Amino acid sequence: MDGKAVRLARPKMQQISRLIFHREILLVLFILLFGLLASSASPYFLNLENFKQVLIAISLDTVVAVGMTIVLVGGGIDLSVGSIIGFSAAMIAVSFESGNSIFVTILIALASGILVGAVNGVLISYININPIIATLGMMGIARSGSYIISGGYAFSNIPERFVAFATANPVGIPNIALVALISVGLFTILLSHNITLRKYFFIGGNEAAAYRAGIKVERFKLFSYIICGVFSALAAILLVSRMGSTFPHSGLGTEIRVISACIIGGCSINGGKGSVIGSFLGVLLLGLISNILVLLGVSVYWQGIASGIILILAVTSDALLNRRKY
- In the complex, the residues that contact other proteins under the rule CB under 8 A are 1-8, 10-11, 14, 18, 189-190, 193-196, 198-199, 201-202, 204-206, 208-210, 212-215, 268, 272-273
CB of 324 to other proteins, least distance (A): 10
Task: Give the residue with the Cβ less far from other proteins, 174 or 272.
Answer: 272
Task: Give the residue with the Cβ less far from other proteins, 186 or 313.
Answer: 186
CB of 255 to other proteins, least distance (A): 24
Contact 242, 93 (CB under 8 A): no
Contact 38, 233 (CB under 8 A): no
How many angstroms separate the Cα of 259 from the Cα of each of 66, 71, 121, 308, 315?
Answer: 11, 10, 18, 12, 12
Handedness of CA 208, 214, 215, 218 (dihedral sign): positive
CB of 70 to other proteins, least distance (A): 15
Residue (of 101, 54, 57, 63) closest to 85 by Cα position:
63
Neighbours of 18 (CB within 10 A): 11
284 vs 133: CA distance, rounded Å: 29
Task: Give the residue with the Cβ less far from other proteins, 162 or 202.
Answer: 202
Task: Give the residue with the Cβ less far from other proteins, 76 or 174.
Answer: 76
> Around 85, how many Cα atoms within 13 Å sit in the side-chain half-sphere?
28
Contact 257, 56 (CB under 8 A): no
CB of 213 to other proteins, least distance (A): 4
Contact 102, 163 (CB under 8 A): no
CB of 171 to other proteins, least distance (A): 24
Task: Give the residue with the Cβ less far from other proteins, 6 or 300.
Answer: 6
Task: Give the residue with the Cβ less far from other proteins, 23 or 199.
Answer: 199
147 vs 157: CA distance, rounded Å: 17
148 vs 87: CA distance, rounded Å: 10
- The DSSP H or E segment spanning 232 is helix 217-243
CB of 269 to other proteins, least distance (A): 13
CB of 201 to other proteins, least distance (A): 6
Task: Give the residue with the Cβ less far from other proteins, 306 or 318.
Answer: 318
